[in-house]
Amino acid sequence: MIFGLFRRRTPPQVIATYTAIVAQARQPHFYASLDVPDTVDGRFELVVLHTILVLERLRGGSQVESAFSQDLFDLFFEDMDGTLREMGVGDVTVPKKVKKMAEAFYGRAAVYGQALKDGGTQSLAGAVERNFFAETQKPEAAFAMARYIRSAADALDGQPADEILQGRPDWPAATDFSK
């Protein structure tokens, strides 16, 4: 108990931004109309994707934006740790699973970051196909998701960073995208 007194608390703005990320990732349209699997893995992929989009937007920003990004990254992994524990994963196994999640996160961040720099949707669709639809090929859904990702990145790029830092990332409506 006493050790919790010395732990740094997550700023409320970071919590608000992460809450907005998770809320967007839980939009039913992704699962019902864009064929994202409504599974633990599918939900993980969407939360990772939206977290990466925000981190990409804040990359190279001010020291405040950099610190915010680190806090957001830390909160994401605290949430993943807590989620695993709630799912009944044993204390000994949690660190190994979180390490695998971190490797997946870094890999996806690199791929999505490069695909966003490439422009267009072809590279994004390939990344989506591998990450969301690895078991069953769904090219139409992958391209719809790629269009959504491009639109989301553009919306975030057009938004002042201060709004994101206040917990108000601007997301496109998921329902604007279909297969």
- Tell whether the model's pLDDT for residue 147 goes beyond 60: yes
pLDDT, average across residues 6-15: 79
Domain spans of the chain, in order of start: 10-165
Residue 30: burial class (beta carbons within 10 Å; 0-12, 13-18, 19+): buried
Cα–Cα dist 166/94, whole Å: 31
* pLDDT of the residue at 2: 46
Question: Which of 3-12, 72-81, 115-124 is the least confident region?
Answer: 3-12
Q: pLDDT per residue over 12-23, tens digit each?
A: 899 999 999 999
Q: Which helix (H) or strand (E) holds 67?
A: helix 63-86
- Is there a contact between 50 and 24 (Cβ–Cβ < 8 Å)? yes
